[in-house]
Amino acid sequence: MVYNSINFIVLFPLIFLLYYVIPARYGKARNLFLLVVSYLLYMQWKPVYALMLMGVTVVTYWAALRLNGTRRSRAVVTAGVLLALLPLVLFKYFNFINDSLSEALSLAGLHFQLPGLNWAVPIGISFFTFQALGYLWDVYYKRQEAERDFLTYALFVSFFPSILSGPINKASLVIPQLKALRPQYDRAKVTEGLRLILWGMFMKVVVADRVALYVDTVLPNYMYYSGISCFVASVCYTIQIYADFAGYSLMAIGVGKTLGFELTENFRRPYFAVSVTDFWHRWHISLSTWLKDYIYIPMGGSRCSRLRNYWNIFVTFLVSGVWHGANWTFIVWGCMHGICQIVEKMLNQQRCRYGMAGKTVKVIITFLVVNFAWIFFRMPTLGDACGVIARIFDLSHAHAVFMPTATDSALMALGVGMLFAKDFLDEFFPCRCRLLDNRRAVVRWSAAVVTLVLILLCGVFSADQFIYAKF
């Protein structure tokens, strides 16, 4: 469900009320209701792809059950993982692998190419596949009991608030909540959930979609804009992707909370990171935790030789790049993050020990490095990404900055300024200047009303899809 759409505004209160109409003692009925809603919402997009979701659910459920009491657990987990990955590989990576192989073969003078698949990638496939695989590995490593109740497990994989773009929840967090008898109505959680939805919506429509107007004007036509305009656009994209994805995550977590669930935290003010390593402790936390638990640590993590450790970091971020999309740009983006972290580890620069001024310098350097890497993430080809970078360093039209209209500039500054101020206060003064969760009701209510008014007056309501929905 796209949270910034009329559908959400109409459907969510209905789902919310119907959910709470079911008495808390009928926990299974509540879960069944959520499962039906999750599948119906998923089927809104392309009904047939719900079979894919069901397929991944059944395969991982079956494999996890088979792991109990079998001697061939390695074979079972391998088969389960491969079968669960099959739709993801087929839909998302087949064309990329096919094209890359045929290009490689053509270099050797061989001309061979399979016909490409012209199918749309099922929405959220990377998220629900990774969530299901995480569960399977947890059962394999005996960190989690295999879930026998299919209804509970199916709801864990398809839970509608997080199926589209995460967070990638751990079974150990969600399944106990699904099995427990939840209270009829948790007032504090509902309030907190609504607050998160409100701020998430602000981040998406007031900040992300507003700066996107600048990004989408300049970056696709970078060759006709000056270096400084391209640099400003790249910074705008850095802000856009944060406000877009973190906004989505907040809304997903908020929707979960209003229904009485706690989902994984996904963002912790990433642009105040003092190193790229620190950045990954704050950005898309659920994915970086997944990569750490199921790629980095099984490969040996840091409990191995120094060189092996560097290799483990590199491979982990290579997988991160591949996970994001079937394109060399994502692979380069992942490799850049991996290499930066290796360099930081070599130079012992993962943390900051230089006081306030040093921290400020490190935050700025990290921001610029991450910003530079986002260029690869945003552009459709490596050639375009290099073109934008070359343009940024071309000083021949240094004076010419593309400026949107005065109104657009003011609205951009307002949204970005408010987001920066909130993140800054949350980072450095977490107990002061709280507005949406202030102890005094009048401040709390005023802050909420003003935020909603700003959403209505300054938001961009084109119901654009979230950037991460395509992953």
The DSSP-derived string for 1-47 is --TTSHHHHHHHHHHHHHHHHS-TT-HHHHHHHHHHHHHHHHHTT-G
Binding of residue 118 to other proteins (CB under 8 A): no
CA distance 1 to 39: 11
Cα torsion 373, 379, 382, 385 to 10°: value is: -60
Do the Cβ atoms of 322 and 313 come closer than 8 Å?
A: no
43 counts as binding other proteins under rule CB under 8 A = no
Nearest-angstrom CA–CA distance, 102 and 186: 57
Among 397, 424, 428, 437, the residue binding other proteins under the rule CB under 8 A is 397
- The Cα–Cα gap between 256 and 265 comes to 12
190 near other proteins, rule: CB under 8 A: yes
Catalytic residue from among 111, 281, 284, 324: 324
DSSP 440: S
* Nearer residue to other proteins within complex by CB, 363 or 458: 458
Q: Which of 123, 136, 134 is nearest to 59 (CA)?
A: 136
Closest approach, Cβ 103 to other proteins, in A, equals: 23
- 410 contributes a contact to other proteins by CB under 8 A: yes
- From candidates 307, 407, 439, 440, binder to other proteins by CB under 8 A: 407
Whether 324 is a known active-site residue: answer yes
How far apart CA 303 and CA 309 sit, in angstroms, is: 8
Q: Which DSSP category does 465 fall into?
A: P
Identify which of residues 224 and 429 has a Cβ nearer to other proteins in the complex.
224
Contact call for residue 193 and other proteins (CB under 8 A): no
Cis peptide before 167 (omega within 30 of 0): yes
When the beta carbons of 348 and 407 are compared against other proteins, the nearer one is 407
Closest CB to other proteins among residues 32, 194:
194
448 binds other proteins (CB under 8 A): yes
Min dist. Cβ of residue 16 to other proteins (A): 10
Q: Which of the ranges 149-157, 219-227, 239-247, 340-348 carries the binding residues for other proteins, by CB under 8 A?
A: 219-227
Tell me: does residue 225 bind other proteins (CB under 8 A): yes
**What does the chain come to in residues?**
471
Residue from 2, 151, 173, 194 touching other proteins (CB under 8 A): that is 194
Pick 60 or 451: Cβ nearer other proteins? 451
From 22, 318, 452, 469, residue interacting with other proteins (rule: CB under 8 A): 452
Does 20 interact with other proteins (rule: CB under 8 A)?
yes
> For residue 165, which of 133, 134, 214, 131 has the smallest C-alpha distance?
131
State the nearest-atom distance from the C-beta of 11 to other proteins, in Å: 12
Distance CA 411, CA 405 (A): 10
Calpha distance 52→163 (Å, rounded): 13
Q: Note the maximum CA span of the chain.
A: 74
State which of residues 119, 354, 424, 445 lies at the interface with other proteins (CB under 8 A). Answer: 445
**398 near other proteins, rule: CB under 8 A:** no
> What letter does residue 434 receive in the DSSP assignment?
-
Q: Are the beta carbons of 190 and 391 closer than 8 angstroms?
A: no
Between 244 and 423, whose beta carbon lies closer to other proteins?
244
Identified binder of other proteins from the candidate list 111, 142, 187, 440, rule CB under 8 A? 187
Residues 374, 234: contact at Cβ < 8 Å?
yes
Q: With binding defined as CB under 8 A, does residue 435 bind other proteins?
A: no
Stretch that binds other proteins, among 131-139, 186-194, 342-350, 351-359 (CB under 8 A): 186-194
Residue 348 lies near other proteins (rule: CB under 8 A):
no
Residue 231 C-beta: closest distance to other proteins, Å: 15
What is the C-alpha separation between 287 and 284, in angstroms, rounded? Answer: 6
Active site residues: 324
Sites of contact with other proteins (CB under 8 A): 5-6, 9-10, 20, 184-185, 187, 190-191, 194, 221, 224-226, 397, 400, 406-408, 410-411, 445, 448-449, 452-453, 456-463
